[in-house]
A and B are shown apart, each in its own frame.
Chain A
């Protein structure tokens, strides 16, 4: 588990889905790393993405912005994005900003994987 303020992510393939596990906090200081990694995968031909937040404690508004940006770029390439395992605080942030209407948010990784 990354230290305070740090983020790390793990990327793996599950079938034709690229699964990204985000650990730590997705915030103004580190959001570009995630964006860069997902875009690399997209450029490499990946089209189905699942970002799993079960180990994510916190996302700030710039982290939300990166997710919006990624959603748009993935869609432009004919791909799909799912988010899964948001804790109660993260869900609240998505609901407050109405971003829960923009993203496909699943309660579990399995639910997300079967929704593609």
Chain B
């Protein structure tokens, strides 16, 4: 069953939304370490990006969150009302020339912490999948 949440474009909504979905994950018995770090970080970054950049901080716009939970897999889609962007244009923040930059780490973290990340063609919707069978964050990151 897909849970749907329609959020006002308000950064203050992020924390309680993330907390609520983390609790949903706990309720179905999903791995707590992955909930605490991977889901929390990935979802927080996706929501912040949607509100700040996708919806351009416009308080009239909304962000749609669709989530499905089972004990092995969590799927979350975050959609904003913006024009979209090209995720391939986002530079690698770990390049030495980018390390001192203040921004540009959100999508990178989502990609590192989620097992599958897909954008729609328009670029205003991100699908994130977390699989408890894929191991912890260090395995996902290819070892560190």
Question: Which residues on A are within 8 Å of B, measured CB to CB?
Answer: 4-5, 25, 27-29, 58, 60-62, 64-66, 68-69, 72, 89, 92-93, 95-99, 101-102
B103→A97 contact, CB < 8 A? no
B103→A4 contact, CB < 8 A? no
Interface residue B118 (Cβ < 8 Å from any Cβ of A): no
Q: How many A-B residue pairs have C-beta atoms within 8 angstroms? Tell me.
A: 72
B99→A99 contact, CB < 8 A? yes
Q: Which 6 A-B pairs have the closest CB atoms?
A: A5-B15, A61-B105, A65-B102, A98-B94, A61-B106, A29-B11
Contact residues on B (Cβ < 8 Å of other chain), bracket: 20 to 34
B102→A89 contact, CB < 8 A? no
Main secondary structure of the interface of B (DSSP, over half): helix
Interface residue B81 (Cβ < 8 Å from any Cβ of A): no
Q: Which residues of A contact B101 (CB under 8 A)?
A: 65, 68
Point out the residue from B15, B52, B109 that lies within 8 Å of A96, measured CB to CB.
B109
Q: Which residues of B contact A65 (CB under 8 A)?
A: 101-103, 105
Q: Which residues of A contact B12 (CB under 8 A)?
A: 5, 29
Q: List 25 A-B contacts (CB under 8 A).
A: A5-B16, A25-B15, A27-B44, A28-B52, A29-B11, A29-B12, A58-B41, A60-B41, A60-B45, A60-B106, A61-B48, A61-B103, A62-B103, A64-B105, A65-B102, A68-B101, A92-B138, A93-B109, A96-B141, A96-B144, A97-B109, A98-B93, A98-B94, A102-B99, A102-B100
